[in-house]
Chains A and B, each alone.
Chain A
Amino acid sequence: MEEKKGGVSPEQPSDHELALDDERRVKVLSPGALVAKRFFRNRLAMVGLIILVCMFLFSFLGGAIIPYKENQIFEGYEEVVSDFAGATLNSDYRFYETESGIIPSGARTSLILAVNNGEMTYTSGDQTYSLTELGNDSWIISGTTPVADVNKLAGRYIITSDEIEVTNALTAAFTAAADAGETSFELDGVAYTISGSNRTFTISSMMELGVASKLVVEGEGLTYEFQKAALTAMGAKENSFTAEGTTYTLEYDGGSAIASAGSDVVALLSEYAVQGVENGTVISAELRSAIVEAIEEGQNSFTFTDENGTEVEYELKRENNRYTIRTATQSKLIQTYLAPSWEHWLGTDGAGMDILTRLMYGGRISLIIGFVVVILETIIGVVLGGLAGYFGKWVDMVIMRIVDVFYCIPTWPILIIFGSIMDSYQIGPKVRIYFMMIILAVLGWPFITRIVRGQILSLREQEFMVAAEATGISVSRRVFKHLVPNVIPQLIVQCTMALGGIILTESTMSFLGIGVKFPYASWGNIISSVSNVFVMTNYWYCWIPAGFLILITVLGFNFVGDGLRDAFDPKMKR
């Protein structure tokens, strides 16, 4: 029918008598062009071709265009009410040590005993400590070391010492202090205590080790000098103090005090220890004072305006002497199962990845696997089928029995057991894909061998093969140059259909979790999220697009395969 259309109808009158086989009479089409013409007339085949072109563009071009990466995880900030800080009523002594002073734990426990007994000096270990009261249960702790012995002879003090040089100044200072009945004196910046009575005394040098206090001094980067000065000032109920050359003002509020330099709040002195729940949480002194104030006033919640001027709501929860401060904080969260939006056209999946991007990359993998497997199958199938068909006899027998054996090997048990083995070896996801291709090809080649052999069996009896043999062409050339090309039409049809089948198998494997594994996307493993019924019910965009893509891709291959078969073999046309 098609052939007629191109030509001039014989009934039509013409100027010249044209020969029947004149080129102007009959529009001659090559066999290939005929096939192409028939193919392009087939509507279903064209639909299939368009689908396939779209899928290739989608997978290969789309993956290159889209700004996201295959494994990019999207994170966002969301407000979550969580524990922000904890506050505890402090009932123990806290120790603020000088830079060089170390108060051993024995000395720390003995301090409580000494304070309770009202002793101003106590001994712990080999060391004697002396206490100086600051008020408000705060004490300066100094370690004392005996340095000199003093004997009083006839109203004169004779100082003997191994450790320090006995100077006139020392004697004079001691004499002055002893005569005045004082127990300490200072010389050249070193404090000394005097112990003993009547005639024998001991001079001990004092070294300040730190301050013990039941008050908590909290702020950022506080020095010992500041802490001591603040505690001293608070003990003395003074309104200002000086530390490190800066003057700070103290503002009292119930049992706590706020130390500030100018308008900056530097530290808070209170009975409560406030700590962030997470390490590294910075709690400003203002916020601390707000928390302490709220605790002291017994409030359940309060609002605090931070340095940026935003108001933040805090909740307080009490549990004995512990308070938990909760607030809505900005937490970094992986955005899982986001609904489709402008940023994510098909939303995000359970791992927070963009589904559209995953679909594009998954398409690449599915198509590449399909093509590689079909090419491998074709190579094995054509070689073995060609040999079997051409040589016949025992070669044919052996190869066809091998085909029968492979034909009988059940596909799924093998695939599953291989998946299971690869799991137990923890084979990397990339190597896994290669193994998958090989296994699928090894299991799939027999059908191609059958087709090739069948075709060759009928072709080799034809005249052109006799001619080829008569011209003395070598066997391999006869098989692969003259026989195999004649098989190609059939082969193309079957391979196109097989491609769809391989994509189905691959996606089923990935769906079952024995195929392409997580970091890589595949249409099958995108759908596997439906094994969670919650996802299936609530997030249709996680699985319906992927399934639809598999369906239309396989459909495209089948349409094209079908169209090619009709085009190559027009017998079926009436």
Chain B
Amino acid sequence: MRKFIVKRLVISVFILFFVALIMYTIMRCIPTSFVEAKARQLSQLPGAKSYEEWLAQLNATYHLDTTIIQGYFMWLWDAVRGHFGDSWYWNVPVLTEFKNSIWYSFALGAISFVLQIVIAIPLGILAARKQYGMADYIITVVALVGISLPTFFFATILKYIFSIKLGWLDLYGMVGRYYYQLSTFGKILDLGRHFIMPVATLVIISVGSLMRYTRTNMLEVLNADYIRTARAKGLPEKTVINKHAFRNTLIPIVTLLGGSLPGLFSGAMITETLYQIEGIGYVSYQAMINGDIPFYMFYSCFLAVLTLLGMLIADIMYAVVDPRVRFD
């Protein structure tokens, strides 16, 4: 087990190294004129550093005056020690902005993750049990509609109905107009109110794939011999489904869910941007759309780490959940 984890970790570091190299190369392919123009533009902001200072800082942070490989290793050494530079767009160190925003993203991700599980797994199992029945058709169609909905369109429809037509919720933002006059409890309620639509959007958009995954796995399990045996033994259908089938269905599902845990931190870029939830997705979208290279480098490496972590966790979970799997 330990050997396996160590091996996977080594491979992950190796992959991360190349992912970061690709990101760095793309960044270096941006011609210097772009960087210079950016530095000039930045220096013209009120209270900003001078053009030379920005350019010098960019050169220092990204080693733009060296070759790509050399510069990459120098950047990597800085990055490993946690020096990611100052964000061009937010005018503060990248890590400060990251710390300010990550927990909003996590809250948004975690709430919708829990809701997804609560909705998707029972419905997926129901669909599998009644395959080609009415319930199955409805659930399949709803799941596929969720998968096919463009986030921005669904978010806009929600806004149109609940903010504009009904006037129940605010169009954007995390807090209402009178937030600072509210009591602590009121503040939490206000914050919660502003999270309703983003959470609803995320859940509807992503619940479909989990639902389909549950259904497929449940179908596979229901076709297995041990289920037939259980039925042949004369066990009540309830026991067959809830004990024999459900436990076995959980193996791939828990693996999948475990693998998507790190993703809770990645931020929902489109949803956060549309609702202006100041999570990492919104913050990095704003930065990147303005060509903020320090933030781009940081955020893409962060996402790559999360993906690798997800893959690693999924592998480990697979072994933990299913006692039949043994590592060699």
Listed in ascending order, the chain A residues whose CB lies under 8 Å from chain B are 43-44, 401, 404-405, 407-410, 412-414, 416-417, 419-421, 424, 500, 504, 507-508, 511-512, 514, 524, 527, 530, 533, 536-537, 540, 543-544, 546-547, 550-552, 554-555, 557-559, 562, 571-572, 574
* Interface residue tally for chain B (C-beta within 8 Å): 53
8 shortest interchain CB distances as A-B pairs:
A547-B153, A410-B303, A554-B148, A555-B148, A413-B300, A416-B288, A420-B291, A405-B18
Neighbour of B148 across the interface among A407, A536, A551, CB < 8 A: A551
Chain A to chain B contacts (Cβ below 8 Å), 19 pairs: A401-B14, A404-B15, A405-B15, A405-B22, A413-B288, A416-B285, A416-B288, A419-B289, A421-B291, A512-B273, A512-B289, A527-B152, A540-B160, A544-B157, A551-B145, A554-B147, A572-B216, A572-B220, A572-B223
Taking a contact as CB atoms under 8 Å apart, the answer to whether A408 and B19 are in contact is: yes
* A44 and B137 in contact, given A536-B164, A551-B149, A558-B144 (Cβ under 8 angstroms): yes
Task: Given contact pairs A413-B300, A414-B26, enumerate 13 new A-B contacts (beta carbons under 8 Å).
Answer: A408-B307, A410-B303, A414-B23, A417-B293, A512-B273, A514-B289, A527-B156, A536-B164, A546-B153, A551-B153, A552-B148, A554-B150, A572-B220
The smallest C-beta distance from A516 to any residue of chain B, in angstroms, reads: 14
A401 with B15, Cβ < 8 A, contacts A408-B308, A420-B290 known? yes
CB distance from A515 to the nearest CB of B (A): 12
Chain A residues near B149 (CB, 8 Å)?
551
Contacts of A413 in B (CB 8 A): 23, 284, 288, 296, 299-300, 303
Q: B240 near A: Cβ within 8 Å?
A: no
Please pick, from B159, B223, B269, B293, the residue contacting A412 in the complex, using a CB distance under 8 A: B269
Question: In this assembly, does B140 line the interface, its C-beta being within 8 Å of a C-beta of chain A?
Answer: yes
B220 contact set on A, CB distance < 8 A:
572
- Tell me whether A572 and B304 are in contact in the complex, defined as CB-CB below 8 angstroms, given that A412-B269, A417-B26, A421-B34 are known contacts: no
Is B171 among interface residues, defined by CB-CB distance under 8 A? yes
Q: How far is the CB of B77 from chain A (nearest CB, A)?
A: 21
Check if A572 sits within 8 Å of B219, measured CB to CB.
yes
Are A414 and B300 interface neighbours, CB within 8 A? Answer: yes
Say if the beta carbon of B232 comes within 8 Å of chain A: no
In whole angstroms, how far apart are the Cα atoms of A423 and B81 in the complex? 33
Q: Are B288 and A562 in contact (CB under 8 A)?
A: no
Instruction: Flag if B19 contacts A405 (CB, 8 Å).
Output: yes
The A contact surface, by secondary structure, is helix
B16 within 8 A of A: yes
Q: Which residue of B lies closest to A574 (CB)?
A: B131
Contact residues in B for A424 (Cβ distance below 8 Å): 34, 37, 291
Are the CB atoms of B152 and A409 closer together than 8 Å? no
How many whole Å from A354's CB to the nearest CB in chain B?
Answer: 21
| CB nearest neighbor in B for A558 | B144
Question: Which B-chain residue is minimally distant from A411 (CB atoms)?
Answer: B303
- Chain B window 12-39, contacts with chain A (Cβ cutoff 8 Å), 1 for yes, 0 for no: 0011101100110011001000100100
CA distance A414 to B303 in the complex (A): 11
- Does B60 sit at the interface, judged by CB under 8 A? no
The residue on A at minimum CB distance from B29 is: A421
With A44-B141, A405-B19, A408-B16 in contact, is A571–B152 under 8 Å at CB? no
Q: Nearest chain-B residue to A48 (Cβ)?
A: B144
Choice from B150, B157, B160 contacting A507 with Cβ under 8 Å: B150
Residues on B with C-beta less than 8 A from A533 are 171
Q: Please state if A508 and B152 are interface contacts (CB–CB under 8 Å).
A: yes
For A527, list chain B residues within 8 Å (CB): 150, 152-153, 156
